[in-house]
Amino acid sequence: MNTILVIALILAMIATLVALIRGIVAFLQTTKEELNLPEGAVRPSSLKQNKMMMNRILFQAAAIIIVAILLMAKGHG
């Protein structure tokens, strides 16, 4: 059981890192034209940034939950 949780933890950490990098890349690809759009206009890069950062938060939460489960299992074992 612990082996499966450790593998899941590693995968969650890798997914967090990938989502973070993709979000930063989306941020860096913001063009001057997008920045000059009128207030309230939907920017494609902003949507991608938000999506990647939400994914990062979800993957981080999953990693924290897995760590908590591992710690509880260690305390009972």
Give the chain's radius of gyration (CA, Å).
18
| Contact (Cβ atoms closer than 8 angstroms) between residue 63 and residue 20 | no
pLDDT tens string 1-52: 889 999 999 999 999 999 999 999 988 888 777 777 787 777 888 888 899 9
Q: What is the largest CA-CA distance in the chain?
A: 59
- For residues 77 and 10, the model is more confident at 10
Please give the angle made by the CA atoms of 41, 46 and 49, to the nearest 5 degrees.
165
Q: How high is the pLDDT of residue 65?
A: 97
- Cβ neighbors of 26 (< 8 A, separation 6 or more) are 45, 48, 49, 52
Euclidean distance between CA atoms 71 and 53, whole angstroms: 27
Indicate whether this model's pTM tops 0.85: no
